[in-house]
Structures are given as C-alpha cells and as structure tokens.
Amino acid sequence: MQTKKLKAFTLMELSIAMLIAAICIGMAFYMFQFFQRLYLSQQREKQEQFSFSLFQHLLKKDMDQAQAVFYSENELQLLDSAGTVRYVFSENYIARDHYQQQTDTFNFKTLAIDGLYRNTSRPSPTCIDEFQVTVIYDKEEHSFILDKKYAAQQLMQIANTKQD
C-alpha cells in the first residue's frame, strides 16, 4: 500500500512564520507608540504656542480698548464700555475674567508684575498707565510692557469715579 503525501507546512516552517509575524507585529506596535508620542508632544507644543500668542494678543487688545486701567495686588482691571476685564496673576497661572462671563486660564509662571503711573498727578490710587509683566514660556523669560494713553477727559472721569 502506498501512502499519499499531503502537501502541508512542517512544524518548523510554521514556527518560523509565527516568529516573523510576531516580530513584524512588535515593530508595528513600537512604531505606532513612537508616532503617537511624537504627535502628542507636537500637539502639546502647538497648544502652548497658541496659548502664549493668545495671551499676548488678548492683553494687548484689552489694554488698547480699555478706557481706564487699574492695578492692585496682582490684579489688573481694564474698564471699557462693555464692562470690566480682569487679569489675576498667580505664581503658576494667569486667569482672565472677561466681563464675568468667560474665564481663560493661561498656564505660565509669572516672575514679575508692575503697574506704574508715570505722570505726577494720579487720578486714582490704583490707576496706571504702564503695565509690565514677565512670564516664563518655553524655558525663557518674556517681558510685556504695555502702556495706556489717556485723554484729559478720561482722566477727569477716573478722578470723579471711585474704583472698587
């Protein structure tokens, strides 16, 4: 009697194929993790850049649109025709309260804050016409110096109203 030989893979061939498949799957998983970490780090970097640019833009815009600027105890208040925009400066973050409707938080370390009134007669004890803040972003110090130019009528209105 003659036995029929079936065409099939040997056990050794199957084990080699499984080993090659396991190596390919392991490499694919490693590459997936690598690119995922790379994507997340780039996304975090872009988010920090956007947050820094947004803070810079909003602070300048709020200062330009303000009719009066007040500073006391790490709080900057900018009054305009629509209401009050408040910036609260903490050591690890900056909070921006926009007309008591929306609060933005910027996660920057604050190094130095100063509000100055450069002229001799100050219309209010907390009124300022120059604001300086230094924050740490991307392991570097960035300083912002913003100034407010008042009209004589605005200064008289500030002197006549009491700031809370």
DSSP assignment of 108-143 equals -EEEEEEEE--SSS-SSTTB-SEEEEEEEETTEEEE
Any domain includes 5: no
pLDDT at 162: 56
Average pLDDT of the segment spanning 94-123 = 89
Split at pLDDT 50, 70, 90, the class of 151 is: confident
Any domain includes 154: yes
pLDDT for residue 1 is more than 70 = no
If one counts the domains in the chain, the total is: 1
Exposure of 6 by Cβ count < 10 A (0-12 exposed, 13-18 middle, 19+ buried)? Answer: exposed
pLDDT for residue 163 is more than 60 = no
CB 98 within 8 A of CB 89: no
pTM, 2 dp: 0.78
Any domain includes 18: yes
pLDDT for residue 123 is more than 50 = yes
Any domain includes 6: no
Split at pLDDT 50, 70, 90, the class of 4 is: confident
Any domain includes 19: yes
3-state class of 68 per DSSP?
strand
Q: Is the dihedral of CA 51, 55, 58, 64 positive or negative?
A: negative
Any domain includes 116: yes
Any domain includes 138: yes
- The terminus-to-terminus CA distance of the chain in angstroms comes to 109
CB 67 within 8 A of CB 81: yes
Domain housing 78: 11-160
d(CA 71, CA 86): 10
Q: Read off φ and ψ for residue 66, nearest 5 degrees.
A: -70, 145
Any domain includes 4: no
d(CA 93, CA 97): 13
